[in-house]
Amino acid sequence: MLGYVLRRLAAMVPVLIGVTFLIFALVHALPGDPIAAMAGNRPLSPSTVAALRQQYHLDESLWTQYWYYMTGLAHGDLGTDFHGRPVSELIAERWPVTFNLALTAWVMKIVIGIGVGVYGALRRGRLGDHLALGFTVLFIALPGFVFAFIAQLVFGVNLQLFPIAGIADGWPMSFLLPALVIALETAAPLARLTRSSLVEVLRSDFIRTARAKGAAPARVVWGHAMRNSMIPVVTYLGLSLATLLGGAVIVESVFNLPGVGGLMVQAIQTQEGSVVVGVATFIILVYLLVNLVVDLCYGLIDPRVRRV
């Protein structure tokens, strides 16, 4: 088991290097002079500019700069912004918001998606099945930001059930509405996957065996079919959590939640390349780690892939 984890961690390194380099190179290629952006409208003396350029290794080649960054990263340093604040500190400020939002949305998505999927599979081909799936498709079709506005208007402004925006009310009140928006928007693929997986499992021979044993329908579905049907779903759920933890840019901006996604957009707009790279690295690390954890959980529900 430990050996497997180590091997997986080792396999993550090239991907991490590749992805960070890609981001690094892209940011490097962004138009505009970072020093000028940093100075804003203050005039800087040529000597200051030169000093700053040297401090941030801006005169070095892309490769050297990347090397400096990666050595820093190996020591847990994600770099600093133009005011000298460590990027890790910026992330630490934003992370609780993103984490709360992602986890809340993820749980809601699981409840809605798996609920609809199971309902559809058990009533497959009937009206309820079509209605439930159609319901989830509606939310894909509605553009995310439009749906977010509508939710804001109906539940925040008109019904006043939830705060309209911001995080002043803390968890859960400030997070429920944006999380629900994310959950509904992304529930459809989960519902489909759950449905098709359960339908397939219900057709398999061992379900027939269970029925031949005289098991009641509820026992057949919950005792035998469910766990098997969750095998492909778990992979998807892992990917989905990893993506959510990377920040929900649109919902964060509509609901004015200061999360990691917003930090990223802001850094791009202010051309703070070091912050863009640092935050991206962090998001990628989270993504890879969550996927690893999911792979390990996989063995818990499917003994066939269990590693000793």
Partner 1 sequence: MSETVLATPAAAPARRRDGLRGLLRKPLFVVSALITLLYLAMAAFPGLFTSVDPRACSLAFSGVGPSSGHPFGYDLQGCDYLANIIYGTRSSISIGLLVTVATFVLAAVFGGLAGYFGGLVDGVVSRTADIMFGLPFIVAAIVVLNMFPQRDVLSVSLVLIVLGWPGGMRYMRGSVLKVRNLEYVQAARVLGSGHTRVLLSHVMPNSLTPLIVLKTLEVGAVIAAEAALTFLGVGLQPPAISWGLQLSAAHSQWQAHPHLVIFPSIFLSLAVLAFVVLGDSLRDALDPKER
Partner 2 sequence: MNLANRAKSTVDTASPASPPSSSALLEVTDLRVDFHTRAGRVHAVDGVSFSVAAGETLAVLGESGSGKSVTAQAIMGILDSPPAEIVGGSVLLEGRDLLTLPAAQRRAARGSEIALVFQDSLSALNPVQPVARQIAELYRIHRGMGRSEAWRRAVEMMDRVRIPAAASRAHDYPHQFSGGMRQRIVIAMALALDPKVVIADEPTTALDVTVQAQILDLLAEQQRERDMGLILITHDLGVAAQVATNAVVMYAGRIVERSRVRDLFLDPVHPYSHGLVASIPRDLPRGSALPAIPGMPPSLTARPGGCQFHPRCPLAQPRCRTDEPPLLPVKDGRESACHFWTKVGER
Closest to 169 measured CA to CA, from 182, 156, 151, 183 = 156
Q: Does 31 bind partner 1 (CB under 8 A)?
A: yes
Q: Looking at the chain, list the stretches that DSSP marks H as alpha helix, in order from N- to C-terminal side.
A: 2-29, 34-39, 46-55, 62-74, 87-122, 127-141, 144-151, 173-202, 205-212, 217-218, 226-245, 249-254, 260-269, 273-301
Is there a contact between 256 and 166 (Cβ–Cβ < 8 Å)?
A: yes
Q: Does 51 bind partner 1 (CB under 8 A)?
A: no
**Is the previous residue joined to 34 through a cis bond, with omega within 30 degrees of 0?**
no
Q: Identify what 143 binds: partner 2, partner 1, none; CB under 5 to 8 Å per kind.
A: partner 1
Q: Residue count at the site for partner 2 (CB under 8 A)?
A: 22
> Which residues, numbered 197-226, are part of the site for partner 2 (CB under 8 A)?
203-206, 208-216, 219, 223-224
Judged by CB, which is closer to partner 1: 221, or 284? 284
> Which residues, numbered 67-126, are part of the site for partner 2 (CB under 8 A)?
none
Q: Is 215 exposed, middle or buried (0-12, 13-18, 19+ CB in 10 A)?
A: middle
In the complex, what is the shortest distance from the CB of residue 197 to partner 1, in angstroms, rounded to a whole number? 10
Cβ neighbours for 172, distance < 8 A, ≥ 6 positions apart: 104
Cα–Cα distance between 263 and 257 in angstroms, integer? Answer: 10
Judged by CB, which is closer to partner 2: 76, or 303? 303
DSSP 143: -
> Which residues, numbered 273-292, are part of the site for partner 1 (CB under 8 A)?
276, 279-280, 283-284, 287-288
Q: Does 307 bind partner 2 (CB under 8 A)?
A: no
The contact set with partner 1 (CB under 8 A) reads: 14-16, 18-19, 22-23, 26-27, 29-31, 124-125, 137-138, 140-146, 149, 153, 196, 199-200, 243, 246-247, 249-250, 253, 261, 264-265, 268, 276, 279-280, 283-284, 287-288
The contact set with partner 2 (CB under 8 A) reads: 203-206, 208-216, 219, 223-224, 227-228, 301-304
